[in-house]
Structure 1
């Protein structure tokens, strides 16, 4: 997978970082195969980690130009990690939504996060994960199975559907990643996913 950080016009996505984690630290985190722990980013995180959940906002987008996903991961103390995922394969909106969720959970787990609250505006994905909707399509079944595997790695997991108005930043990142990298910031990491998560071991 190709990973890099790119330039950004901040007002395009209303990006107003509070305690933004440095882009270089995040770039190193990805370059090292996501082996960077939270304690390497901030020593105080270790004792906080099990106590309060991190919040993960996810969104996926599909267009004629391509598909992408946006992630916003917020620590209990307000530090933010923004992340854009370019899907280098044809994907529907629902598939892009699942890719966003799976990537967010993967990153969170690799950072050592044990408690997470997910926020998504996708009714289908949220209700399938909650078991209120049945996944009938074979592809959706495979994605749901992958999510359940990922969820099992956390001590605490919650997922909630939120209005799109509360998911604007992840939505903007997903749309930008699906079309062009030109407007993404140095605070945003971009990853190109070559194949579907359900096809990976």
Structure 2
């Protein structure tokens, strides 16, 4: 069985070689493959497979137990607030102002068709007020949740509510408002700052986390607002937000010079730094398989096994001019010029297009000179003069 599992891993590494080279691989298994492959007294076949798998960054982890996941799900279904309500349900309210407390249920939804928010506000006498808000701007699900929360606070403030209890099914909002979760995103930090400013305008405002099953009316309103806003009932108050509730951050881009195409690859190969964009980071990981860094110089691996030195745009232009029109220049087409450059040991992306552009500019700038050369060759080879017998 162990040999079969190791063989399956070897086949996967061969078929998905680019992914095994560019990413760390976690193998979840109940068998001790790591101990088997690390033993010195391996059989001939296992030793060969261990050497082949050794070039990848593979980490063997035990398969997670199903019982732990069941306990985690059960813990989420029975929140701590229910236990506290059971313990203190016999105690009378501490102040008479709690009888004036309003309850806010809210939820946000972001879909491909659009985004929306649903609110249900209940006064101390049990009367319900429902609101549906259409978000006419692109937003994520977390941003829609925050927009619903901020809209509920604004509406409650306009109604003159002093004591408010907001019940949300989003662990993100409940955790960040209480300080349990750390805020790392700039947009989420702006939403949190504005939410705390609105909460300070109430005499008492607290946020309670509830299950999604207890927030079904607000959840349904948010989904209807994001998909069928025009067909809402008359008893639902509608509102449209054309822009986010938080102020937009204006960024001024200052460009001091052209950035070399080698900079992301050098940063990744030297320190493992990748851009924030996941697509660009994945491209750099795949490209880095063809490059090597020696000191501060970047080299490209060729198909023949040689290393080609990478150059930027300024050095590339100089190399093309030296190869094409230098003292021993070829004065040939772009394909021959590129082949000569690679044989010399240089590389950069877009070599053929750069060579074609530089040669074309050279031909246009020296059109008169080439015309004179052609004219002299025609006169020297005319029948009147005759060909020279002593050679060229």
Whether the aligned pair in 1 keeps the contact of 2:114 and 2:138 (CA below 8 Å) is yes
- 2:136 corresponds to which of 79, 88, 92: 88
With normalisation by structure 1, the TM-score equals 0.73
- 2:194 corresponds to which of 146, 156, 161: 146
Whether the aligned pair in 2 keeps the contact of 1:49 and 1:114 (CA below 8 Å) is no
Whether the aligned pair in 2 keeps the contact of 1:70 and 1:171 (CA below 8 Å) is yes
Whether the aligned pair in 2 keeps the contact of 1:49 and 1:113 (CA below 8 Å) is no
How many correspondences in the alignment?
Answer: 153
- 1:193 corresponds to which of 224, 241, 252: 241
In 1, distance between residues paired with 2:212 and 2:119? 14
Using the TM superposition, give the Cα deviation of residue 184 of structure 1 relative to its aligned residue in structure 2, in angstroms: 1.7
Using the TM superposition, give the Cα deviation of residue 49 of structure 1 relative to its aligned residue in structure 2, in angstroms: 7.6
In 1, distance between residues paired with 2:206 and 2:196? 12
Whether the aligned pair in 1 keeps the contact of 2:99 and 2:124 (CA below 8 Å) is no
In structure 1, the partner of 2:180 is 132
Q: Would you tell me which structure has more strand in proportion to its own residues?
A: 1
Name structure 2 gaps, 5 residues minimum: 1-95, 249-392
In structure 1, the partner of 2:153 is 105
In structure 1, the partner of 2:216 is 168
In 2, distance between residues paired with 1:91 and 1:161? 23
Using the TM superposition, give the Cα deviation of residue 87 of structure 1 relative to its aligned residue in structure 2, in angstroms: 0.4
In structure 2, the partner of 1:56 is 104
In 1, distance between residues paired with 2:220 and 2:116? 10
Q: Would you tell me which structure has more helix in proportion to its own residues?
A: 2
Greater relative contact order (Cα 8 A, min sep 6): structure 1 or 2?
1
Query: Following TM superposition, where does structure 1 have runs of at least 4 consecutive aligned residues deviating by more than 6 angstroms?
Result: none
In 2, distance between residues paired with 1:82 and 1:171? 12
Q: 1:198 to 1:75 in 2, by over 3 A?
A: same
In 1, distance between residues paired with 2:207 and 2:177? 8
Task: Say what the alpha-carbon RMSD is for the aligned residues.
Answer: 1.5
Describe the SS at the equivalent of 1:153: coil
Describe the SS at the equivalent of 2:160: coil
Using the TM superposition, give the Cα deviation of residue 116 of structure 1 relative to its aligned residue in structure 2, in angstroms: 0.3
In structure 2, the partner of 1:34 is none
In 2, distance between residues paired with 1:140 and 1:126? 13
Describe the SS at the equivalent of 1:91: coil
Could you give the per-residue CA deviations for residues 153-192 of structure 1, whole angstroms, max 9, x where no partner exists? 0001111111110000000000000111244211101111
